[in-house]
Structure 1
Amino acid sequence: MNEHQATKRLDEFLSFYNNLSQHNLNSLQQLYAANVEFIDPVHHMLGLEQLQQYFSHAYARLSSCHFVATSKIANESQGCLSWIMTFTHDAIGNGKAISVHGCSIVHWNSEGKIAYHRDYYDLNEMVLEHIPLLGWVTKKIKQKMAKEV
């Protein structure tokens, strides 16, 4: 597998997520291995069943979600995709569009399915700063820390 074919996998991964919705969650089995390990700043799940339950809950109130790639690195067994996710959720930020910078690390098994997926993103940027009181507090903490450097 050459570099172009490897980064094509990341393009397919991105396209998959840009088309994922509450109505096609059963398609996760096309992308992920049955024993997938999925980690993000809030969750650590093992197995496709846990992952489907997670996405079912996550997409239940999600109004929109779109990813744009900012960089891609891949070889035959693993890839790294940096992205900007823009989403709207009725319970976060009064339903206004929120953009979050992040990165996904994925490892493919011998069948070409994802066996390991880890997302890195700033939970504050995604959620906390959009909650009225917490947003104010985290902003003040950031300001204080910036002055101390």
Structure 2
Amino acid sequence: MHPNAKLLEQFYSAFQRLDAETMAACYAADVEFSDPVFPNLQGSEAGDMWRMLTSKAQNFSIVFDGISADDQRGQAHWVATYTFSQTGRTVVNDIQANFAFRDGKIVNHHDHFDIWTWSRQALGLKGLLLGWTPIVRSAIQAQAAKGLAIFRSKK
């Protein structure tokens, strides 16, 4: 197995244990992270996002597969199941992840998932009716950014 594939195994195994410190240690100091909820995190923001999410996790589990990597690029598939704390609704989020590596660390991490599918599960009727709209997507991103800023201010 390629060393970068082992790094991804380490990252997701740590995620299964809600071990955000090990996850963050897999990242380069200048990592760039993006997904539909957190579209542009830089450096320590990415590790802090995982710290925040793992500290709030309720009824959480993940499974992962499809890990492959070479010297520069990698990918993985993972599915997270959890209770969305703001609504108490169960979410099953199916995610495809792409990575770039430098010097044995993750330097770019991009998670792809359908925000409308996520919002239907997390928000219920509001997500079903409006989750596909840019207005709701922007509101979800703003709420997530605010939560991360509050979490980081308390560190």
Tell me the TM-score normalized by structure 2: 0.69
Count of residue pairs brought into register by the alignment: 130
Aligned to 1:46: 42
Please say if 1:119 is aligned against 2:111.
Answer: yes
Unaligned runs of 5+ in 2: 134-155
Alpha-carbon offset, residue 68 of structure 1: 1.5
1:67 equivalent to 2:62? Answer: yes
Deviations 1:18-49 (A, max 9, x none): 122xxx5343442111111111112211112x
Distance in 2 between the 1:89 and 1:129 partners? Answer: 9
Q: Residue 60 of structure 1: CA displacement? A: 4.1
The secondary structure found in structure 1 opposite 2:96 is strand
Residues 48-93 of structure 1 show CA distances to partners (whole Å, capped at 9, x for unaligned) of: 2x1233234333432143222242222122210012221223324x
1:123 to partner: Cα distance: 1.7
* Equivalent AA in structure 2 for residue 16 of structure 1: A
Q: Please give the secondary structure, in 1, of the residue aligned with 2:60.
A: strand
Question: Would you say the 8 A contact 1:129–1:138 is kept in 2?
Answer: no
Distance 1:11 1:28, change over 3 A: closer
Contact 2:78 2:95 in 1 (8 A): yes
2:133 corresponds to 1:133:
no
Question: In structure 1, how many angstroms separate the alpha carbons of the residues matched to 2:119 and 2:31?
Answer: 26
Q: 5, 8, 14: which is aligned to 1:16?
A: 14
Counterpart contact for 2:16–2:62, Cα < 8 Å: yes
The answer to whether residue 104 in structure 2 is matched with residue 108 in structure 1 is no
For the 8 Å contact 2:5–2:68, the answer to whether it is kept is: yes
Change in Cα spacing, 1:37 to 1:134, as seen in structure 2 (3 Å) is same
Change over 3 Å in CA distance of 1:136–1:46 after alignment to 2: closer
Q: Distance in 2 between matches of 1:33 and 1:63?
A: 28
Once the two structures are overlaid, the 10-residue window that deviates more, 50-59 or 30-39, is 50-59
